[in-house]
Structure 1
Amino acid sequence: MTLITCIVPAHNEAPRIAAVLQVLTRHPLIAEVIVVDDGSRDGTAEVAAAFPVTLLRLSPNRGKTAALAEGLRAARHDLVMLIDSDLTGLSAADITALVMPLRQGRAQATLSLRGNAPRLWRWIGLDYISGERVFSRALLNGREGDLLRLPKFGFEVFLNTLWIAQGLRVAVVDWPGVASPAKAAKRGLWPGLAADAAMLADMFRTIRPTAALSQIVTLRRRRV
């Protein structure tokens, strides 16, 4: 059986991360859970430390891309799963569903489609910037320098570029009962909107808007 490392980037998620780790650390398909605490100012690290995980702490906050790069560097297994730390409604069945297309040989990478994904994403059947994925870490061999040059929230669209260049078959896994809280709900309206705007700016510093549209079209075509 292929062993899986699960990487969980986290920033100020003390109220939410325990529910996620309860599922991940008990799942029989996951051999290792790495939590990367990205400069949190709350008790995120302390909550994570209560679980059987490898805890990496970054200071100051360096952004999601840097947190994932640290987790990937520390991972002991080739097959990696990325899971956001703020999910609600996550179950063991959801984790199994995200892994099975690879174990069955139907796909070489998977993406989640959460129940509260934007209506457009659910209509087209694809969330191309989903934070929940499974893929081979070997895809990033030799790309460590590229990761370091990415903006804070450029990882997902950069990874899409690699998947497309490699011609990977991608499975989209429906997670109707899983949600990711809006930033405005966690931080307040205006700070949340500012965080969303910064994330979009980072994405479009990584790829052009026309390239983002091309990613959506190509990934939809390669769905299995």
Structure 2
Amino acid sequence: MKHTYTCIIPFYNESTRILDTLEIVTQVNAFSEIICIDDGSSDNALIDIQKQFPEVQLMTLPTNRGKSDAIAAGLHATETSHIFLIDADLRSLSDEELSSAIKKYETHHLDMLILGRHDSNLFVKMNRGDILFSGQRILSVTDLHHIFSISPDKYQLEIAINTYMRKKNARVAWMPSSLLNTYKSKKWGFFSGVSHELSMAWDIIKYAGPREYLRQIRLFAKQQV
């Protein structure tokens, strides 16, 4: 059966960054749907998206509930077989690279493909955080529904996906990319950004535990395509 793809992009107070991302994503022919979920933003990004990208399906959460809940809302509105998850704040994004990722996913008959981040520091790379916690992933709608049945919260989605895929012995690979993330300290200021980073780290450890996390560092998604 031919794969069909929905691109899901959650966002929260991303200002013009989400517009830059959509400028690229809307050029990818493989996407049957593009769903953006506003996770309780207080800026005008939603209005700007409606004006500039009328083809994009928009959803709004009344309050900020976190990335996991936002993606879950988008998942329930999806009508395709597969999902391409993309963060709203990426830089150096190209439609050619996204299309190449889809082609590699299909050519290698993968259950999941992760796009590694380009700008990670040495500490992050040593812990393989540029791969393990990258928000850019392709996987099936069926698998993502199974993952959400475990109820990952806030920043736990990536570690929950990894844990599910590892226990399933799924075919998982990663590919290098030119994608650059916008650090939280730049978006929200130093102290607020650091607070969010620490909250994310705690969510990860709380969900998986140190043993599972170390197992993923050593063994998970080692194949490069």
- Aligned-residue sequence identity (percent) comes to 28
SS state at 2:91 partner: coil
Q: Which residue of 2 aligns with 1:180?
A: 181
TM-score for both structures, normalised by structure 2: 0.91
* Unmatched tracts of structure 2, length 5 or more: none
Structure 2 counterparts to residues 194-209 of structure 1, below 5 A: 194-209=195-210
Correspondent of 1:61 among 59, 64, 67: 64
Q: CA RMSD in A?
A: 1.8
Displacement of 1:216: 2.1
Displacement of 1:61: 0.5
Does structure 2 retain, via aligned residues, the 8 Å contact 1:7–1:34?
yes
Q: Which residue of 2 aligns with 1:8?
A: 9
**Counterpart of 1:23 in structure 2: which amino acid?**
I
Displacement of 1:201: 1.3
Q: Which residue of 2 aligns with 1:146?
A: 150
Does the alignment pair 1:136 with 2:137?
no
SS state at 1:194 partner: helix
Distance in 2 of aligned mates of 1:74 and 1:158: 21
Displacement of 1:36: 0.4
Does structure 1 retain, via aligned residues, the 8 Å contact 2:147–2:164?
no
After superposing the two structures, state which structure 1 stretch, 121-130 or 76-85, moved more: 121-130
Does structure 2 retain, via aligned residues, the 8 Å contact 1:35–1:48?
no
Q: Which residue of 2 aligns with 1:88?
A: 91
SS state at 1:55 partner: strand
SS state at 2:116 partner: strand
Does the alignment pair 1:17 with 2:15?
no
Distance in 2 of aligned mates of 1:220 and 1:13: 29
Q: How many residues align?
A: 221
Q: Which residue of 1 aligns with 2:131?
A: 127
* Unmatched tracts of structure 1, length 5 or more: none
Q: What does the per-residue CA deviation read over 1:189-218, in whole Å, with 9 as the maximum and x for residues that have no partner? A: 111101111111111221112211111222
**Counterpart of 1:24 in structure 2: which amino acid?**
V
Displacement of 1:30: 1.0
Structure 2 counterparts to residues 61-80 of structure 1, below 5 A: 61-80=64-83
After superposing the two structures, state which structure 1 stretch, 5-14 or 101-110, moved more: 101-110
**Counterpart of 1:167 in structure 2: which amino acid?**
N
Displacement of 1:165: 1.5
Does structure 2 retain, via aligned residues, the 8 Å contact 1:14–1:47?
no
Displacement of 1:25: 1.3
SS state at 1:175 partner: coil
Distance in 2 of aligned mates of 1:74 and 1:29: 18
